[in-house]
A and B are shown apart, each in its own frame.
Chain A
């Protein structure tokens, strides 16, 4: 876990402001039910923060507040130092890589087109898009020559998720949002992809906010791990300290992990 030694924020000036800052952010449904409340959390410019918690704890809602798929009803979320409300949603989303489980790829487009989508939306030249697509598909181990013209349904689950990660990285966004990206995979493929993901994101120096209900995954990938419960951030610790946390929700999660820990 050598990466834990790195400071949460990069040394250079540009990276000194956090990539994402939640400032007492809250989101409620029309019926008044709060999905996220009073969330305060910063993700450093090169940091991976993982949010864990049960289903319905508000993890996905928190992610969607970052790329303006949802807008906070109280507090604010800042991306690159600017409140999301001040961002044009389209511009914000094009500089924010988003990886989701399964359906994230467009079923009618070949792998190549899926990966090149955001650069295409940004109006890059054809040759530059092609070069970038080749580079990224190589990076995730699915060379264009073999996989570029396949449709998503012609890939395995693991291959689809690799394409999803490649697509999120395509326009070289400073920030990645990942919503249970490996949730539907078998344990072996999942472990492989986790390893690749960690190397990739740390190697590229991206900020990442990652959501999962799997504590093992959270501890493997996160510089810091936050526990969400009932829409609130119950605890946030570095991955190393997490298992020693005395917060009840963190203990409850840690208890699920004991078996896995002996096994691993």
Chain B
């Protein structure tokens, strides 16, 4: 541990650069996954066939080993190649499933009687979505973003293999040099980043979970 502290202190500027790259990779990927996954999750609750398709594809994407996915993307024009773009595309695909799945589950878990009450008061389908379904599902949706962020922070370390930068650079250097200290200089900050993201998004999810929403702590359904 002393070696690690000395290494990090000596290379502070570079460590911060790599950490910054890492956060940008993950931030863009999770942002894109949320922008795509939220509407997909909502659409999946509206149509049975789309539901099966969307959840199926997202599930399959999740099962592709990450190093292989990076490899597959290298020859793909525009999205692929060597560098950060490819890494962001791959990370987005991984981040998609938890967000789609939680959005879908969060809306599906709402008591149908609440939905009917909202309709019966004269809400349009759009108002039902924005005023009832999304607010009630918000806690679970953010929980999905949280899982997506934690997964992406881990997988992004592999992105260094295709030249995308990030903390993985140290891990691969350390592997090549057979130097534990250098490996840890990449792995430890990445793990800490994941823990921080997990804690922060966990807090947000709890704050956004209204009483009466699916997944709310207790006293959910007054009898």
Interface residues of A (CB under 8 A from B): 67, 69, 90-94, 98, 100, 102-108, 117-118, 121, 151-153, 157, 160, 167
Contact of A121 among B123, B136, B210, B212 (CB under 8 A): B123
B211 and A151 within 8 A (CB) = yes
A259 and B164 CA atoms in complex are apart in Å by: 82
A98 touches B120 (CB 8 A): yes
Please list 12 pairs of residues, one from A and one from B, whose beta carbons are closer than 8 Å in the complex, sorted by A's number: A69-B120, A90-B123, A90-B124, A100-B120, A102-B222, A105-B117, A108-B211, A121-B122, A121-B127, A151-B212, A152-B222, A153-B220
Is A69's CB under 8 angstroms from B117's CB?
A: no
Smallest Cβ distance from A87 to chain B, in angstroms? 11
- CA distance in complex: A103, B135 (Å): 16
CB of B213 within 8 A of CB of A98, answer no
Measured between beta carbons, the chain B residues less than 8 angstroms from A67 are 120
Segment from B6-14, B82-90, B108-116 that makes contact with A? B108-116
A167 to chain B, nearest CB (A): 8
A107-B210, A108-B136, A157-B222 known; A91-B122 Cβ under 8 A: yes
> Which A residues lie within 8 Å of B120 (CB)?
67, 69, 93, 98, 100
> Are A117 and B211 within 8 A (Cβ)?
no
- Contact A106:B132 (CB < 8 A) given known A69-B116, A152-B212, A152-B222: yes
Whole-angstrom distance between the Cβ of B204 and the nearest chain A Cβ: 16
Using A152-B212, A160-B222 as known contacts, list a sample of 13 further A-B pairs with CB atoms less than 8 Å apart, ordered by residue number in A. Answer: A67-B120, A90-B123, A93-B120, A94-B121, A100-B113, A103-B113, A103-B117, A104-B113, A104-B117, A106-B131, A108-B136, A108-B210, A118-B121
Residue of B117, B124, B127 contacting most chain A CB atoms (<10 Å):
B117
> Cβ of B117 and Cβ of A106 under 8 Å apart?
yes
In the A-B complex, list the 9 residue pairs whose CB atoms are closest, starting with the nearest: A107-B212, A94-B122, A108-B210, A93-B122, A103-B113, A98-B120, A104-B117, A153-B211, A108-B135
Category for how many chain B residues contact A: 20 to 34
Tell me whether B118 is interfacial, beta carbon within 8 Å.
yes
Shortest B142–chain A CB gap in Å is 14
**Assuming the A-B contacts A153-B219, A157-B222, are A93 and B211 also in contact, with contact meaning beta carbons closer than 8 angstroms in the complex?**
no
> How many Å lie between the Cα of A90 and that of B121 in the bound state?
8
Are A117 and B136 touching (Cβ within 8 A)?
no
Interface membership of B46, Cβ < 8 A:
no
Q: Which of A90, A93, A108 contacts B212 (CB 8 A)?
A: A108
| Residues of B contacting A100 in the complex (Cβ-Cβ under 8 angstroms) | 113, 117, 120
A69 to B118, CA, bound (A): 11
User: How distant is the Cα of A179 from the Cα of B219 in the complex, in angstroms?
Assistant: 25
Residues in B whose Cβ lies below 8 Å from that of A104: 113, 117
User: Is B203 in contact with chain A by the CB < 8 A criterion?
Assistant: no
Cα separation A177 to B159 with both chains bound (whole Å): 60
Closest to A179 in B: B120
Whether the Cβ atoms of B121 and A117 lie closer than 8 Å is yes
In whole angstroms, how far apart are the Cα atoms of A167 and B122 in the complex?
Answer: 12
Q: Which residues of B contact A91 (CB under 8 A)?
A: 122
- A256 vs B111: C-alpha distance when bound (angstroms): 34
A154 to chain B: closest residue by CB: B211
